[in-house]
Structure 1
Amino acid sequence: MARELAAAQRFYAGVLGWRFRASGLGDRFAVALHEGTPVAGIGALAEPLDLPVAWTPYFAVDDADLTAARICERGATMAVGPLTFGTGRAGLAADPAGAVFGFWEGAVVPDWSVGSGSAPAWLELRTRDAFESSAFYGEVLGWAGRGPGRCVASNEQDHVVLRHGHDTVARISGGADAGASDPEVRPRWRVRFPVPDIEGTIASAEELGGEAVSPVGTSTASRWVDLADPDGARFTVVAPHPHGRGPASS
């Protein structure tokens, strides 16, 4: 959600190479495309809403009403909805630790999933307790189920990894502090977008009014950095390490 849709489109077009098309949700919402494939949505905040500009992951569900009921039953908070949008229904919630996420009941892009193709590289939840949060999302979103299209969560040392087939979709790790004054330390979902080059992406972001808000991180397979757009919305970009051996899974 952005304060000014046109300005957000200019920034992300210049930084991530996205193009945009209209959606069925009206002139205050646009779909971002990368190489012709939908990868994200950007909407304009309604004037009365005093909300921070932020990226929010939306998870596909079979039944929005059932998901909302599960959220409330498990000590979390429904903030918006479920409401009807175009051909589907959506809701916005905060999990028991305070991390905000959304859910969507309706049509999705065929064969499109986080972690594959032009989609976001992966999602990361920093929270108080990784295993407690994993149980919450597993129960609310059906990750513990079986069948085609289901995600599978596995415990790996001090964090939880969520996979869809062979693709890493999300990582849940602990250590966040809900009472911290720094929003970076509080529980929240982070989205990582793939880019070909870290330094070039940082330069483009700075030219367009954004900034790098973390040092560049490096593993044997990838490099990444946290960026903020001109409205302060934070996101991460990740690029293959020039001497790496393949994509990182976490």
Structure 2
Amino acid sequence: MNHDTKLPHGTRNVVSTHSVYGAPCWVSLTSRDLETTQDFYSAVLGWRWRTGKLGDRFRIALADGVPVAGIAAVASMWQMAVAWTPYFAVRSADEAVSRVQERGGTSAVGPISFPPGRAALLADRDGATFGIWEGELVSDWETWRRSTPAFIRLHTRDAFDAAIFYGEVLDWASERPGCCEVHYEGGEVVLRSGGDVVARIVSGALGSAPDPTIRPHWQVHFAVQDVTACARVAEQNGGSVLSKSDDEAVLRDPDGAQFTVTSRRER
């Protein structure tokens, strides 16, 4: 597994994940330069910041006062790639890790304790990196998912095979309370929680290149009011625009992390 992610940080006791399982509950970014990263995302997404509990290299991003993402400037120190990583809420971190390993995935870190919860970094059978979180959430889940993060999308070789893998690991499409529904819509596997889209899985011809944006990976989509303005500001602040339409743009920050901004009306 590639070590291109970090563990959640700065968590606080707000709402138990016992109300939602298998859905994304947090996103985090590894970077090399904390100040540059903060300045970029402040300009592009309007985020403000507070210090995380793990030290000066860690920050919590706030959108209208709501914690929406974590940043860790540890890529160089820990020899990790720069990338965004989603975390999924689970009942038991130990059980989820065992399920991943039994189904051909890998475990890089954990589960380890991050009071008030436990976390692990994992990879699916195709090498796409993701995290799991057992315990209290950083922010109220309903508030978090309706703030800046719109949804996440897995770019992988076989969407149906991936859906089976994640479904078995994360209890998707089960009858257990709080679990997610899985549908096939518009050529994609779509994950819904409470009727809202929280994740998508799409098939494609992907290689095994070192670049995490070319091989199978989870892409984080952030909801914004004006896609064109975000793309313009990204370029003005050292980032780049990889592709753009009226409703969506794939951007790269100055450190190389790729993400997508999506129009709020397209959520």
Instruction: Please indicate the TM-score interval, normalised by the length of the shorter structure.
Output: 0.7 to 0.9
1:248 corresponds to 2:254: no
Q: Between 159-168 and 145-154, report the one with greater CA deviation.
A: 145-154
Paired-residue identity, %:
49
Pairing 1:147-226 to 2, within 5 Å after superposition: 147-156=176-185, 158-179=187-208, 183-214=212-243, 216-218=244-246, 223-226=247-250
Gap change, CA 1:133 and 1:196, over 3 Å in 2: same
Give the secondary-structure state (helix, strand or coil) at the position aligned to 2:57: strand
> For 1:188-242, what per-residue CA distance to the aligned partner results, in whole angstroms no more than 9, with x for missing partners?
100110111122111211121111111x124xxxx001000010000000125xx
Asked whether the 8 Å contact 2:148–2:224 carries over to 1, the reply is no
Give the secondary-structure state (helix, strand or coil) at the position aligned to 2:43: helix
Deviation at 1:50, TM superposition (A): 1.7
Gap change, CA 1:180 and 1:103, over 3 Å in 2: same
Gap change, CA 1:43 and 1:184, over 3 Å in 2: closer
Asked whether the 8 Å contact 1:128–1:175 carries over to 2, the reply is yes
Q: Which runs of 5+ in 2 are unaligned?
A: 1-29
Equivalent position of 2:251 in the other structure:
227
Asked whether the 8 Å contact 2:181–2:191 carries over to 1, the reply is yes
Equivalent position of 1:54 in the other structure:
83
Deviation at 1:9, TM superposition (A): 1.2
Asked whether the 8 Å contact 1:97–1:178 carries over to 2, the reply is no
- Backbone CA RMSD of aligned residues: 1.9
Deviation at 1:61, TM superposition (A): 1.0
Gap change, CA 1:227 and 1:98, over 3 Å in 2: same
Q: Which runs of 5+ in 1 are unaligned?
A: 241-246
Equivalent position of 2:50 in the other structure:
21
Deviation at 1:138, TM superposition (A): 0.6
Q: Could you tell me which of 159, 170, 176 is aligned with 1:130?
A: 159
For residues 43 and 143 of structure 1, what CA distance do their matches in structure 2 show? 30
Gap change, CA 1:47 and 1:24, over 3 Å in 2: same
Asked whether the 8 Å contact 2:34–2:73 carries over to 1, the reply is yes
TM-score, normalization by structure 2: 0.82
Asked whether the 8 Å contact 1:205–1:229 carries over to 2, the reply is yes
For residues 85 and 143 of structure 2, what CA distance do their matches in structure 1 show? 16
1:188 maps to amino acid: H
Asked whether the 8 Å contact 1:227–1:235 carries over to 2, the reply is yes
For residues 187 and 143 of structure 2, what CA distance do their matches in structure 1 show? 25
> For 1:29-83, what per-residue CA distance to the aligned partner results, in whole angstroms no more than 9, with x for missing partners?
2111111111111112165422210000111111111111111000001111112
Higher RCO by CA contacts (8 Å cutoff, separation 6 or greater): 2
For residues 231 and 46 of structure 1, what CA distance do their matches in structure 2 show? 10
1:112 corresponds to 2:130: no
State the number of aligned residues: 237
Asked whether the 8 Å contact 1:122–1:170 carries over to 2, the reply is yes
1:88 maps to amino acid: G
